[in-house]
């Protein structure tokens, strides 16, 4: 799992250093920042798999609202990363709200290192699942477009054949295709 990109955001420099030391050997690319204000710029660069986000950045407030605000910002990006929220001040309502708002996990400080690594691994797995789902949807959409085009072609050929009493030479000329191509299309569409 060494090729994943993780951003850690916490106003406590000691926590940033600790998280970087814990995560770097396992996950590779770790960006640690003390302010969420630069987060949009980091996300615009793309390729971010997981954001570990502290919920409180102002010492006077411990409600978690800052974290929820930034969670919404992160999730508004197309192909957004998975988000794990972290805080030392939590209650069950904050945890529930975090999950309802799109966080994939919630870590309470101080954390267990194994639990933290497991949470990041699961967040990466969820991000990979979303990528795969988008790829499948795109492939299905493209297949559907091809089928729609083929149906339009079939209807056009049928219409031209009917209007010209199935005269292949005239129909091929109108459709601007060779006679052989028209024969092949008639056979393909069972016309």
Q: For residue 190, how many other CB atoms are within 10 A of its CB? A: 6
Does residue 103 sit in the same domain as residue 175?
A: no
> Which pLDDT score, from 0 to 100, does residue 85 have?
93
Does residue 117 sit in the same domain as residue 172?
A: no
Rg of the Cα atoms in the chain: 27
Does residue 44 sit in the same domain as residue 128?
A: yes
Distance CA(53)–CA(16), nearest Å, equals 11
Q: How confident is the model at residue 2 (pLDDT cuts 50, 70, 90)?
A: low
pLDDT at 10 exceeding the cut of 80: yes
Question: In this predicted model, what pLDDT tens digit does every residue of 72-105 receive, in sequence order?
Answer: 999 998 888 999 999 887 778 888 888 899 899 9
Mean pLDDT of the chain: 86
Distance of CA 50 to the CA centre of its chain: 11
User: Strand order in 105-108's β-sheet?
Assistant: 28-33, 4-9, 50-54, 82-87, 105-108
Does residue 34 sit in the same domain as residue 95?
A: yes
Q: Is the pTM of this model over 0.75?
A: no
Distance CA(185)–CA(34), nearest Å, equals 64
Distance CA(112)–CA(75), nearest Å, equals 26
Distance CA(188)–CA(180), nearest Å, equals 12
Task: Give Cβ neighbours of residue 108 (< 8 Å, ≥ 6 apart).
Answer: 86, 87, 88, 90
Structure tokens given for 110: 């101080």
Report how many domains make up the chain: 2
Domain range for residue 177?
139-188
Could you tell me which of 148, 157, 144 has the C-alpha nearest to residue 188?
157
> Which pLDDT score, from 0 to 100, does residue 122 have?
92
Does residue 46 sit in the same domain as residue 114?
A: yes
Give mean pLDDT, residues 98-126. 91
> Which pLDDT score, from 0 to 100, does residue 8 have?
95
Could you tell me which of 70, 116, 111, 62 has the C-alpha nearest to residue 89?
62
pLDDT at 1 exceeding the cut of 60: no
Q: How confident is the model at residue 61 (pLDDT cuts 50, 70, 90)?
A: low
Question: In this predicted model, what pLDDT tens digit does every residue of 124-144 receive, in sequence order?
Answer: 888 888 888 777 777 777 767
Q: Please answer whether residues 1 and 26 qualify as being in contact, where contact means their C-beta atoms are separated by less than 8 angstroms.
A: yes
In this structure, which long-range contacts are made by residues 146-153, counting pairs with CB atoms below 8 Å and at least 24 apart in sequence?
153/185, 153/189
6-20, 29-43, 59-73, 135-149, range with the lowest pLDDT? 135-149
- CATH at residue 180: 1.10.10
Task: Give Cβ neighbours of residue 20 (< 8 Å, ≥ 6 apart).
Answer: 8, 30, 32
């Amino acid at each position: 799992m060494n090729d994943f990109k993780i951003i850690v955001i916490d106003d406590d420099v000691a926590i940033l250093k600790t998280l970087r030391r814990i995560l770097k050997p396992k996950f590779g690319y770790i960006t640690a920042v003390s302010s969420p204000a630069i987060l949009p710029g980091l996300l615009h660069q793309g390729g971010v798999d997981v954001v570990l986000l502290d919920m409180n950045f102002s010492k006077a407030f411990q409600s978690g609202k800052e974290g929820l605000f930034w969670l919404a910002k992160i999730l508004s990006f197309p192909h957004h990363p998975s988000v794990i929220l972290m805080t030392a001040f939590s209650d069950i309502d904050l945890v529930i709200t975090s999950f309802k708002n799109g966080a994939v996990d919630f870590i309470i400080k101080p954390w267990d290192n194994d639990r933290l690594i497991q949470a990041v691994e699961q967040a990466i797995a969820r991000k990979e699942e979303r990528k795969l789902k988008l790829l499948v949807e795109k492939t299905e959409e493209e297949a559907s477009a091809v089928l729609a085009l083929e149906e339009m072609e079939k209807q056009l050929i049928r219409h031209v054949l009917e209007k010209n009493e199935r005269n292949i030479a005239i129909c091929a000329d109108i459709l601007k295709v060779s006679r052989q191509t028209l024969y092949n299309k008639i056979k393909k569409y069972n016309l």
